[in-house]
Structure 1
């Protein structure tokens, strides 16, 4: 009988720990990762609030830039009568507009080349104030 008592489990809890070393390491890593994730979110909220408080101040537009873009003033001051406007994405029309402006010299019309995006096109009506003036538009895709 003594042999059967030692071989049979008595139903009591063994001396094995509930958590092993690997379990403890995994739990510590999991807790550290969770803490890092939660703290990272708070830092982003603080940074976002810093960006929200920033405001952009508008700048005033100088009237000097409007005068510089006046092709009528440029024509009158340089004694030119021909203006060739170009519009192109690839530069083809710009090159052709330059050739046309140079070709105007053959017909006693000094010319200039202008980009309509940089000029005030409402001034085009004032072109009639310049004697024997001509406006040419070169557009290419």
Structure 2
């Protein structure tokens, strides 16, 4: 019985850590309820995406990749929302906008590898919208 309780506590701790880390990450990428990418994140994204595409377009991987998802995520609340429906719709719009902004920024990076693979990127980049589920 004690072992089960310990494992349950470990799982709760992991869930709390994930939630807190995710919240901190979202704050680093976007302002609350906004879809414009923060300048600090653009610097990180440019460096990461260029190197990531260089790896993905290597001969041993390029023809194996069918989809590269760019996901927009949101939190579990919305200030001044009057109903659950309004919260849902606003979060879906925000997550779609965030996915689009990241996809658009990455696609537009003026790096040799990115530029040379834009046609390939058009075929595999998929924006996805996610919102918080209770």
Question: TM-score normalized by structure 2?
Answer: 0.27
Rg (Cα) greater in structure: 1
More helix by share: 2
